[in-house]
């Protein structure tokens, strides 16, 4: 009987695409649970709809290319794009806008560039920005977090709102909606209010915006899980958080009544989601370690700049897309020295 040849290296192949994507989906669970608890069932409904639309769009493109849909679907990248998009949009977004966003992400941003590994921009964030610019009212209509709204939507109410655009009899939009903490901050500062005055309002929480701090904590836990599982490295997320914290600390230290604290920026909006799940996209980000640090730090700085002086309070999506453009150049100038390269003196 012939014995099998056993030789080194004895290293299992762990970085399969479908495994990485599955781990990302697992890492999203704490943040999704927090989102559902804070904003209701709309987030889960959006994830289900976005996942269905993503599978349909990916399958349709593969069939048009005369290839098996399973080839693209088995890597789970379409489901990750769907989940990230559904998490980023308001939980009351009409179903047809979710469909439009997913088609844009899968067909235009991903497949027209050649599929997974060839897209230049993060598909979920490109779709988010596309809808935000095209349909700003729908994309900024957020349900009030738990404890702020006078009415709470149940599962059936949320489903009706998403599918029909109407609320059940007796419920009014003003009673269930509110501005996000970042929107509220910008609006109040424009009216001349101070940070101390704004912080007395109901939208301000312990560390960040009311409710949003728990959402960011959930995605932070998921990010730590990805780090522990070695799905991502620390370079991009830590550099992003340091970049955002450093710039916000600088302005907060000199003008604390007109600039929010770094804790508020770190635990409001989509900061932790962007740091650990969006900016770490290996396809559209940098590949060198120095490049990843520069990439993440620049995203953090751009987020603060747009939040403070731009027209879009959250800014994660815009910052990521801008740095997606710069990623190839950063990689070019941060390549490590080849071993043995250089002049030799005799």
pLDDT tens-digit series, residues 5-26:
444 555 555 568 889 999 999 9
Which residues are CB-contacts of 334 (< 8 A; sequence separation ≥ 6)?
Answer: 286, 288, 290, 291, 294
Mean pLDDT over 191-201 rounds to: 88
Q: How far is CA 296 from CA 80, 122, 258, 299, in A?
A: 21, 14, 26, 5
Least confident of 163-172, 223-232, 286-295: 163-172
CATH for 17-333 is 1.10.3430
* pLDDT tens figures, 36-64: 999 999 999 999 999 999 999 999 999 98
Q: Which residues share a beta bridge with 177?
A: 143
pTM for this model (two decimals): 0.90
């Amino acid at each position: 009987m012939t014995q099998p040849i056993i030789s080194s290296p004895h290293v299992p192949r762990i970085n399969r695409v479908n495994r990485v994507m599955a781990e990302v989906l697992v890492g999203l669970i704490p943040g999704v649970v927090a989102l559902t608890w804070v904003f209701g069932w709309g987030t889960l409904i959006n994830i289900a709809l976005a996942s269905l639309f993503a599978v349909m769009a990916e399958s349709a493109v593969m069939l048009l290319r005369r290839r098996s849909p399973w080839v693209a679907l088995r890597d789970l990248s379409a489901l990750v794009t769907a989940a990230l998009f559904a998490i980023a949009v308001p939980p009351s977004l009409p179903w047809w806008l979710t469909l439009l966003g997913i088609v844009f992400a899968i067909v235009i941003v991903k497949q027209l560039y050649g599929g997974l590994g060839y897209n230049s921009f993060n598909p979920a964030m490109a779709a988010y920005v596309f809808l935000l610019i095209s349909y700003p009212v729908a994309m900024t209509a957020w349900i009030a977090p738990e404890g702020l709204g006078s009415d709470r939507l149940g599962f059936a109410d949320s489903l009706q709102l998403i599918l029909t655009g109407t609320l059940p009899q007796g419920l009014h939009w003003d009673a269930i909606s509110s501005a996000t903490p970042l929107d509220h901050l910008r609006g109040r500062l424009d009216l001349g209010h101070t940070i101390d005055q704004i912080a007395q309002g109901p939208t301000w929480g312990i560390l960040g915006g009311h409710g949003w701090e728990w959402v960011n904590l959930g995605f932070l836990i998921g990010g730590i899980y990805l780090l522990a599982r070695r799905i991502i490295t620390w370079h991009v997320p830590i550099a992003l958080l340091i970049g955002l914290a450093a710039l916000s600390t600088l302005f907060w230290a000199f003008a604390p009544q007109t600039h929010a604290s770094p804790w508020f920026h770190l635990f409001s909006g989509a900061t932790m989601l962007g740091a650990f799940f969006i900016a770490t996209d290996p396809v559209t980000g940098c590949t060198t370690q120095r490049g990843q640090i520069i990439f993440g730090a620049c995203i953090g700085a751009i987020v603060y700049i747009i939040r403070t002086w731009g027209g879009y309070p959250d800014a994660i999506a815009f910052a990521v897309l801008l740095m997606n453009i710069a990623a190839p150049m950063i990689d070019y100038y941060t390549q490590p020295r080849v071993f043995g390269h250089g002049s030799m003196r005799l």
